[in-house]
Amino acid sequence: MGRIVLEKVTKSFGDVNVIPPLDLAIEDGEFVVFVGPSGCGKSTLLRLIAGLEDVTSGRITIDGRDATELPPAKRGLAMVFQSYALYPHMSVRKNISFPLKMAGLDPAERNKRVEAAAKVLNLTDYLDRRPGQLSGGQRQRVAIGRAIVREPAAFLFDEPLSNLDAALRVNMRLEISELHNSLETTMIYVTHDQVEAMTMADKIVVLRAGHIEQVGSPLELYRNPRNLFVAGFIGSPRMNFISGAEAAKHEAATIGIRPEHLAISKTEGIWKGTVGVSEHLGSDTFLHVHARELTQEPITVRSDGEIDIYHGDTVFLSPQEDKVHRFNQEGLRLS
C-alpha cells in the first residue's frame, strides 16, 4: 500500500517561501513524476515527503496515517538519490543489506533478501565489490537494490538518471518502468527531463516556483495543456507560440502549434517563411523556419526524415486546425 496525500503543505527557508500551500493526492501503485525547470521546488517537495525536510505547515498522510511529524525511517518510504549515496567503504552486499541490518533482521534473512534483490537487478556477480569498482549503471542498480529490499510503501527517486550517459539513461528508464510493473508499488520520480516524465509516468505533476501548474496523464498534458507554461514544457521539440494578428484570427492572445502538427510544402500553404537551420535525425527532420510577419522566433516544424528542403528555401506551413491551442491574455487555455 502506498497512498500519499499532501494537504496544504508549505515550506519556507527563512523568509523564502519555496512551496506555497499545495494539495496533492498520489494513489497506491501510481508512477508519479514531478517535473519542472531547475529551482521549481520539485526536489524539496520530494524531500518533504521523505521526511528529510520538515514541512512549515500542512499535513502529509501515508496510507491514511499522519506522517507529518514522523522521522524518515518510520514513514516506510525508500529513496534513490541523484548521487546514488552508496556507502563507499561497504561492499555491494553490505550496502544493500544495510537497511535490513538497521531494522534488526537476522543475518540469514538478510542474506536471502539481498540475494533475491541482486537477482532481480542482475547484481549477483558484483555483490562482493565496492561501489568504487562499479560502473554508473551498476551503482544506480545498487541504489535501487538498497531501496527494494526494505519493501517500502513507496519509492522516491530524486533525478536518478541525470548522472548517466544518454544510452544508459534510456536503458535504466526501461528498467525502472519494468520494476514498477512487476512490483506495483507507488513510485514518485523527480526529473527536469520532460522525456523521462512522458515515457515513464502514469501521472505527471508539472511544477513551477512551487506551484502545481497541472496534474494529469502524459497524453492529457500533451493534448490539453492548461496554460502556456505547461504547453511549452511538455513535448519535444517545444510548441511554437504565435501572438498578434495571426492569434487574433483565432480569437486568442496567443496560439500554440506543435512542430508535428504543421504541414510543410514548397508550393502552397497558409504561412510563408524561409528555412533556417535544419536538423536531420534520420527518422525525422526538424526545420527551423523564419516567418518574420508571424513571430520573431523561428517556427520549428517536424517533418519526414528524408525531406528535400534545404537552408534558404522558401516554404509554406499549414497548421492542422483542430490541433491549434488557444491561450488568453493571462496565458490560460481557451477551450
Partner 1 sequence: MATQHSKSAARFMISPAVLLLLGWMLIPLSLTLYFSFLRYNLLMPGTEEWAGLLNYRFFLTDPAFFDAIWNTLLLVGGVLVITVVGGVLLALLLDQPFWGQGIVRILVIAPFFVMPTVSALVWKNMFMNPVNGLFAFLAKAVGLEPFDFLAHAPLSSIILIVAWGWLPFATLILLTALQSLDSEQLEAAEMDGASWMSRFFYIMLPHLARAITVVILIQTIFLLSVFAEILVTTNGGPGTATTNLTFLVYAQSLLQFDVGAGSAGGVVAIILANIVAIFLMRMIGKNLDA
Instruction: Rank residues 78 and 309 by Cβ distance to partner 1 and give the closer one.
Output: 78
**Closer to partner 1 at the Cβ: 49 or 275?**
49
| Pairing relationship of beta strands 77-80 and 154-158 according to DSSP bridges | parallel
What's the closest the beta carbon of residue 163 comes to partner 1, in angstroms?
12
Q: Which is nearer to partner 1, 72 or 331 (CB)?
A: 72
Alpha carbon distance 237, 260 (integer Å): 9
CB of 286 to partner 1, least distance (A): 37
Closest separation in Å from C-beta 167 to partner 1? 25
Please give the Cα distance from 280 to 161 (Å, whole number). 27
Interface residue list for partner 1 (CB under 8 A):
50, 52, 71-73, 77-79, 81-83, 85-90, 98-99, 102-103, 146, 150
**Beta strands of 184-298 (E only): which ranges?**
186-191, 203-208, 211-216, 240-243, 254-257, 262-265, 271-280, 284-290
Q: How far is the CB of 307 from partner 1 (least distance, A)?
A: 47
Q: Tell me how far, at minimum, the Cβ of 73 lies from partner 1, in Å.
A: 4
Q: Of 80, 126, 122, nearest to 99 (Cα)? A: 80
Spatial neighbors of 48 by CB under 8 A, at least 6 apart, are: 6, 9, 11, 19, 54, 55, 60
CA distance 208 to 239: 18
Closer CB to partner 1, 101 or 292, in the complex: 101
Q: Which is nearer to partner 1, 85 or 195 (CB)?
A: 85
